[in-house]
Amino acid sequence: MAAPTSQVASAGPRESVRARGAKRFIVGIAAIAALGGALFGYDTGVISGALPFMEDHFGLTSLGEGVITSALLIGAAFGSLIGGRMSDALGRRNALLWAGIVFIGGALAVALSPGVAFMTAARFVLGLAVGSASVITPLYLSEIAPPHIRGRLVSFNSLMIVSGQLLAYLINAVLAHWAAWRWMLGLAALPAVALFVGLFFLPDTPRWYISKGRPDDAARVLHRTLPAEDVPAELARIDHARALEADARRGAWQQLRTPWVRRLLLVGIGLAAVQQITGVNAVVYFAPKILASTGLGTGASITATIAVGAVSVLATAIGMSLIDRVGRRPMLLWGLTGMAGSLALLGAAFRLPHSPAVSALVLGLMVLYMAFMQATLNTGVWLLLAEMFPLKVRGLAMGAAVFMMWLVNFGVALAFPLLLDAVGAGTTFWFFGLMCVLSLVFCKRFAPETKGLALEDLEHELRRAATTSGS
């Protein structure tokens, strides 16, 4: 009897060491891969502090501000399509490596731009990397994460996005004293180098390895993220989903013509549009301009924007802690309700006479709006887009949905300065509030719930639900 007792006693410490190793491995993966999210956040947020100085340097009009801001976004739209296809063909990790190279070159080109035309082209190229990373990073994290922490791990990417924006606001506030807008833009090259180097130490995802007929590589990764006894079942589940797709003998584009897949794609595109048409990036890109319209000075407006970034980070962390317990759908519905109320009050605040108190009120309502947005809608949409599509079309379908997200983002960024001049901030934010109400109706009707299911089990449930509702 002594021998079995000894074996049991020794198994416990071994399993404990294994669990700690798996945790360190997953944390390391998240820290490196989510640098793509941080770069996404920094490159989109930094423009808010650079624009006031670029306006003076280049003599920009409101249209010029919109063009320079939105050039990155139209690049990101095409980058999201390229990223989805690259991640399917080359692997999630190798596609991120290519994005890292473009991040480095694009950041340096933007910082050294001699004129508006060059700046616009350079931001378009940088946008290709931003859009690619916006697809590949959550895809990579969702496929490598164990099911019980997938929501938190994918949402970590959202946390890194808003952390990158906060970092941009902090650097903008410091460098604003010297009007050093080129340094604001160029410093993005540093985390891009860290991403590029770090990716050499990461594997690709088990699901991609299986899709390419490399089960041994998939097993090696799974042995580092799951208990040993769970690996065979997980391999079998992934391979079963792959076999079902392979038996159809159709390519990804033909798969998108399947009614239940097409319905999921349309829902995903709708969720992507909802995330942008509700106004978040009008605040992210133009917060100093919005605050300056209440009478606040340029320097004070840039500094005050730090509050928006700080609350966004805190709210995203709260959203991460809730998303796997509360579920995706409830988070979307409660968030959109809070956003609509915040925007209604924000629009009313702009009807008040300019004063320091009104500037503080506008800032407070912007912060409240961003808290609802980042804790719920931003976290939930990115997670749903990473989860809801079947394996064979996951990269392509997510790329198409994120393409729509960037197109709407582009439209908002281009139109917002013109809307401010044409109808004023109050009416503009009331319009975004109306979009929140319409988005609430859409999400209540169509948004799926994906909490707690392995991706392959989730695929079966979504197929059944879409087929049932479509009949």
Core vs surface per residue 376-391: b (16+ CB within 10 A) or e: bbbbbbbbbbbbbbbb
Residue 300: burial class (beta carbons within 10 Å; 0-12, 13-18, 19+): middle
Q: Residue by residue, what is the 3-state secondary structure of 17-86? A: HHHHHHHHHHHHHHHHHCHHHHHHHHHHHCHHHHHHHHHHHHCCCHHHHHHHHHHHHHHHHHHHHHHHHH
User: Angle, to 10 degrees, between the axis of helix 356-372 and the axis of helix 328-349?
Assistant: 170
Q: What is the pLDDT of residues 347-359, one digit of tens each?
A: 999 999 989 999 9
- Of 101 and 293, the structure prediction assigns the larger pLDDT to 101
In whole angstroms, give the CA distance from residue 437 to residue 449: 20
CATH 1.10.760.10 fits 255-470, yes or no: no
Does 3.40.50.1980 match the CATH number of domain 20-204?
Answer: no
| Predicted confidence (pLDDT) per residue in 40-82, tens digit | 899 989 999 999 999 889 998 889 999 999 999 999 888 888 8
Q: What is the pLDDT of residue 263?
A: 84
C-alpha to C-alpha distance for 42 and 29, rounded to whole angstroms? 20
Contact 337, 277 (CB under 8 A): no
Instruction: Please calculate the CA angle 315-154-464 and round it to the nearest 5 degrees.
Output: 115
Q: How far apart are CA 468 and CA 455, in angstroms?
A: 20
Please list the residue range(s) of the chain that carry CATH number 1.20.1250.20: 20-204, 255-470
pTM: 0.81
- Residue 399: what residue type? G
Please answer whether residues 294 and 362 qualify as being in contact, where contact means their C-beta atoms are separated by less than 8 angstroms: yes
pLDDT digits (tens, 9 = 90+) for 230-285: 889 888 888 876 666 555 445 566 667 777 788 888 999 999 999 999 999 899 99
- Are 87 and 395 a contacting pair, CB within 8 Å? yes
Q: What percent of the chain has pLDDT over 70?
A: 88
153-178 pLDDT, tens per residue?
777 887 888 899 999 999 999 999 99
411 near 349, Cβ under 8 Å?
no
Kindly tell me the sign of the dihedral angle through the C-alpha atoms of 153, 154, 160, 165: negative
